Chains A and B, each alone.
Chain A
Amino acid sequence: MKTVYLDNNATTRVAPEVIEAMAPFFKELWGNPSSMHYFGGQVARYIDKARQQIAVMLNADPTEIVFTSCGTESDNAAIFGAVEAAGPGVKVITTRVEHPAVLGPCNRLKERGVNVVELAVDSSGQFNLADLRKELAGGPAVVTIMWANNETGVVFPLEDVAKIVKDAGAVLHTDAVQAIGKVPIDAKKTPIDLLSFSGHKLHAPKGIGVLYIRKGTKVKPFLLGGHQENGRRGGTENVPYLVGLGVACELAMKTMKDEVTRVAALRDKLEKGILATCPDTRVNGDRLHRLPNTTNISFQYIEGEAILYHLSDLGICASSGSACTSGSLEPSHVIRAMGVPFTAAHGSTRFSLSRYNTEDEMDYVIQNMLPIVTKLRALSPFVQ
């Protein structure tokens, strides 16, 4: 059976070019870059190259790039590191729809007595910039606001956010895990202090992440150990993976145009096709400010996990914000924060595309969606 992979916000296929670039670092160039012999030391220049590739993508300086193990580590390091460096009395401002990798550290800080404020979002998934300004008026703050939402694809106006936060003299971190490679990010243009992203969302492997730290930003190191990453993150460098990430970033710059044009058109085709064929469906989130690859559709009166299992039987991979898929008993916090009506909350289904998807695949999904929805609605006590 053919696999139609529409779950790229969960993880992406590793690009063949990336695998090829990584291979020598398992076979021949496996030395430790910190070693005082040529065999190990020669590896260091490949790390420099990867750092350079990533810096180019972000329009940043290579010294501002710190390698980590994943997006979650980057988020933890940024939030804990910035709050610790700021000292007592600092306030943390975030939103209700952040990824658990941000909400987790924020909740821990709350337990430690830090004042953490979560900005509410409206039904489109956007928060009010005036609320942010108001919260910033109260003194020193660390702000952590995602660039794009993983569930709905809703993109926050980070340029505006950065300006407001900078005017208030606060520190700004953004989780750009979903935005990277899909929307242009320019560290010179947007005055962000800290930015997290992960390799496996842009066709590099799992197990490698980046924390961008703007020069001069005060951050206490999170992972303590050796002198690696200029003392900002201990641990022997994951050379094959960071080399792969460097190549993936270079590729992402070339394919960005394709993402915002062709991939967006495929997504629109899929979305329109499903809305046209399946009655009682709705799109969750701000359709005007959204990642080009993501659509989150609610099928009313049916439940997400059941939809996913039927899709899976056809080789189609998607994701859901329903309670049952998470193992928790409530729909996702993002869907709840947006106030999606409960008739639709449990049936939210996310399709997230990549540059490897084709038009035929969209047709295949559109064709099969109505029979699945019809079958499940025939079972539902809420459909007469």
Chain B
Amino acid sequence: MWDYTEKVLDHFRNPRNVGTIKDPDGVGEVGSLACGDALKLTFKLGKDGRIAEAKFQTFGCASAIASSSALTELIKGMTLEEAGRVTNQDIANYLGGLPEQKMHCSVMGREALEVAINNYKTGDTTKKILEGKVICTCFGVTEEEIERTIRDNNLTTVEQVTNYTKAGGGCGHCKPDIEKIIGRVQESMKKEAKPVAAARKLTGLQKIKLIEETIEREIRPMLKKDSGDVELVDVVGNRVIISFRGHCAQCRVAPVTMKEVVEAKLREFVSVDLVVEEEKA
């Protein structure tokens, strides 16, 4: 049996918002009988422009039904802009997580939402149209869809991409292509990530808070492995003053630790401009 959370089983056994809305504002249909799962999502907006009602019909396994039910609960009350930002991770998180091999159920939910919103905005067909180059011909998965899912979920292996999008799960001929897409997307994500850290503008208070969090989460556990510890003494502009404790305090390589662990981590997670100094006794 799958390791489903209680929440998944609850939404499977007692699905919320089953059916179709008459005269809906948006309709999204994705998947097919041949593919093994399919979802039809309909929604209606209220006077305030928020989603007042959402209903679904799903053909699929327990987690496909639960993901669809969760999706309808999740988007109720959202503006279309907010709903447009919902990712498959949001759906999975709502359910307390899904088994890795079942993540494609959450992706199907996100796709249906995307198609339904697009249907509202443009009146375009309610069925998902294949845009761009089809990579997996067995399940009709496009390059665009694979790229988006890799980004949203930070996927690194072909197996993950198959679990999340089904691409590569049939004859398997497209696996080398998927491998290439992963390489390309991961490379561009790395490039995009750096300027974000550099461009981040923090207030003095935010900076100190972030430094403390980073020490707690990233640095302290590493030092504690060697029975060492570190304490934040002060932050002056971009100068971070620290004091080593435990074994680190007597350690001859402490200056190396300071540069390569403490400073490197703080630069990665807070700001590239930081300089770490040890408190002078």
- Total residue contacts A-B, CB cutoff 8 A: 76
List of A residues within 8 angstroms of B102 by Cβ: 324
Cα-based distance from A246 to B138 in the complex (angstroms): 47
Sample 10 A-B pairs with CB under 8 A, ordered by A number. Answer: A303-B61, A306-B12, A312-B1, A324-B36, A325-B61, A329-B170, A330-B36, A379-B58, A381-B59, A382-B38
A306 and B101 contacting across the interface, CB-CB below 8 Å: no
The minimal Cβ–Cβ distance linking A84 to chain B, given in whole angstroms, is 29
A306 and B18 contacting across the interface, CB-CB below 8 Å: no
- Residues of A in contact with B (beta carbons under 8 Å apart): 301-306, 309-310, 312-313, 322-325, 327-331, 342-343, 346, 378-382
Cα-based distance from A310 to B101 in the complex (angstroms): 21
For residue B41, which residue of chain A has the nearest CB? A381
Cα-based distance from A342 to B59 in the complex (angstroms): 13
B59, B139, B162, most chain A CB atoms within 10 A: B59
The minimal Cβ–Cβ distance linking B169 to chain A, given in whole angstroms, is 3
Cα-based distance from A328 to B169 in the complex (angstroms): 7
For residue A324, which residue of chain B has the nearest CB? B61
B36 and A379 contacting across the interface, CB-CB below 8 Å: no
B13 and A313 contacting across the interface, CB-CB below 8 Å: yes
B169 and A379 contacting across the interface, CB-CB below 8 Å: no
Q: Does B37 contact A (CB under 8 A)?
A: yes
Cα-based distance from A342 to B1 in the complex (angstroms): 24
Within 8 A of A (CB), among B27-72: 29, 33-34, 36-40, 57-65
B36's contact among A327, A331, A378, A382, by CB below 8 Å, is which?
A331
- We find that the number of chain B residues with CB closer than 8 angstroms to chain A is 32
A381's contact among B9, B15, B58, by CB below 8 Å, is which?
B58
Cα-based distance from A381 to B63 in the complex (angstroms): 16
List of A residues within 8 angstroms of B61 by Cβ: 303-306, 322, 324-325
Cα-based distance from A323 to B63 in the complex (angstroms): 13
A330 and B169 contacting across the interface, CB-CB below 8 Å: yes
Cα-based distance from A309 to B14 in the complex (angstroms): 13
Q: A329-B166, A342-B33, A346-B33 are in contact. Are A380 and B62 (CB under 8 A)?
A: no
List of B residues within 8 angstroms of A309 by Cβ: 9, 12, 62
List of A residues within 8 angstroms of B40 by Cβ: 381
A382 and B33 contacting across the interface, CB-CB below 8 Å: yes
B147-177 contact mask (Cβ, 8 Å, vs A): 1 or 0: 0000000000000001000100110000000
For residue B102, which residue of chain A has the nearest CB? A324
B33 and A327 contacting across the interface, CB-CB below 8 Å: no
List of B residues within 8 angstroms of A305 by Cβ: 61-62
Given A330-B170, A380-B59, 12 further pairs, Cβ under 8 A: A324-B102, A329-B104, A329-B169, A343-B33, A346-B33, A346-B59, A379-B57, A379-B58, A380-B57, A380-B58, A381-B40, A381-B57
